[in-house]
Every structure is written in structure tokens, then in C-alpha cells.
Amino acid sequence: MHLRYGWLLAGLLAVAAPLAAQAGCPPEGQTLDTLKQLKAFKFQTSDAKDQKKLAMGLLECLGDPDPYLRDEIAFPALQTWLRAGAFDAETLRGMRDALYAQLAGDDAQGFVHPYAALALSEIARTDRIKPWMNAEERADMVAKASDYFASITDYRAFDDKQGYRHAVAHGADWLWQLALDPATDAEQANRMLAALATQIVPDAAPTYGVGEPGRMARAVLAIVQRGFFTQKDWDHWFGKLIERIGDPAKAWNDSQWLARRHDLMGFLLSLYIDVDQSQDANIHFLKPSVVEAVKNMP
């Protein structure tokens, strides 16, 4: 960043600082205009201390009802900084724990939990790239990600006015990063697979239409690539997914049965395309199992 840009941004932050503290979003000392300026400068900052403070403040913006604040400022700012390795382990732990608290709290409008999960996917990525969590912390994150994903009941994905919620896709992204991490083990992978199964063919029978099956397929493929499970294991897993469609007596004459079949077929087709095109032998080996699962679909 040119020095003059750093000076200008520092000035903008200084002007905003005397403003009265505002709870939530925008963070204390910020306004929508200063956040827009931050975006204009591609989230580049000149002071590491201010950056850490702002990052913690922007966590509150992840659940803001304004989609511009969520998707155009808060998340891309956090993602940019996290991917640049801007924070030390202490700061990352603070961010992680604040996001855990958001997941455990209320979410009346349905924005907080999905965006906390999406941000946690980026936190998990930092640990995958340069480990900073210990084994206990990582196991706890796998448990929290799996439990959150299996608990999703709000299937709203996108609204023209309110923007994204997309809990299933965001939760799948979190599991994907953990599945890619070489420090997670077979037992943890099995737990993540069990969670994924609950939303690949969900009891509530939503009709997925905003890319959810592909995001879940990506997480499953990351587990496939790890080589923990045999083809027989996968055949069994796919068979259990088909059973989740529901009572065969309701076939083709029940709206929920039809929706669950639609969702599973979308997942299998997404998986097939990726497996078929992959040059990785650890992934391509799954192709016969996916083909057999499609053949076994009612």
C-alpha cells in the first residue's frame, strides 16, 4: 500500500474514533462511511493493533441484518486478514472463542449462526495452513462444527432483500476446512461424515437450490482424499443415505419424500462430476461407489 493511502486511512480511523460508542455494528469508533473507505482500500491497514481491534469488532457485523455489512465488509475484511496471516495465536483464539459464543447464543433473524460458521471456516483454515491449535482444541472444533451442522433447521439460503443466510453451505465450508487438515484423524472424519449425512438428506426435506449439495460434496471429497475408509465403508455410507429418503411406500406420492430424493440426487451428481474429473487416485477410486449409489436410487 502506498504511504499516502496508509496516512489517509489512519486519518479516517482517527476522525471516527471520537464518535460515541455504538453497540454491535458498526464497531465502536467506526461508521458506515469509514467501513466503506476500508473496503475501498481493499481492507489494508497500517496499524496492527488497530487491525486486531477492528477485526474483533467486525465479528459483531457478521450477524447484522444489512447484507452489505455482512457480505461486502465484515466477512471479506476478516477473510482477507486471516488469509494474510495477520493475527497471532492469541488473537486467533480470541476470535474463535467469540465466534463460538455467537454460535451458542440466540439468532432470532437467522444471520448470526451461519456467518459465525463461515468465519470459523476461515479460522480453521489458518490452523490448517500454520497449526496453532493443540490437539484438544482441534478436537473441540471438530465437535462444535459437527454438532452445529447437524443442528441446522433454518434452510433459508438467499433473499433478494435480506441477502444470504445459507447455514448448510457455510457449515459445510467449516467441515471442509477441518476435513482438509492433516491433523484431524479418522475418528473425527467419521464424526464429520455423520453430521454431513444429516443435511445431505435432511429430515425436514427442504429443496436445495443454492449450491448446498456441491458444498457438502466438497467436504465429503476432502474426507475421501484422506484415505481413512475403504470402498466397502463408502458403499455402506451411501446405502444409509438412500435409506434416509424415507418409507418406500411413499415413493413418488409424498412431497417430503420427493424433496429428500431431489436433495440426495443433487449431492450424488455433484460428487460424481468431481470424482470423475479428478486426477487424484485417492478420490477417483470412489467413482464405482457413486455410480452404484445413483443406480440404487429409487
Instruction: Give strand ranges (E) for the chain.
Output: 158-159, 163-164
Sorted by sequence, the CB contacts under 8 Å of residue 252 that are 6+ apart come out as 258
pLDDT tier at 23 (50, 70, 90 boundaries)? low
| Mean pLDDT, residues 124-142 | 99
pLDDT at 2: 44
Q: Are 103 and 155 in contact (CB under 8 A)?
A: no
**pTM of the full predicted structure?**
0.91
53 CB burial (10 A radius; 0-12, 13-18, 19+)? middle
pLDDT digits (tens, 9 = 90+) for 224-233: 999 999 999 9
Q: Of 126, 128, 173, 183, which Cα lies nearest the Cα of 148?
A: 173
Q: Read out DSSP for 97-121?
A: HHHHHHHHS--TTS-HHHHHHHHHH
Give me the domains of the chain, ranges plus CATH numbers: 24-87 (no CATH), 88-296 (1.25.10)
18 has a pLDDT exceeding 50 = no
Q: Of 79, 155, 84, which Cα lies nearest the Cα of 70?
A: 79
SS3 155: coil
pLDDT tier at 77 (50, 70, 90 boundaries)? very high
Q: Are 133 and 184 in contact (CB under 8 A)?
A: no
| Mean pLDDT computed over every residue of the chain | 93
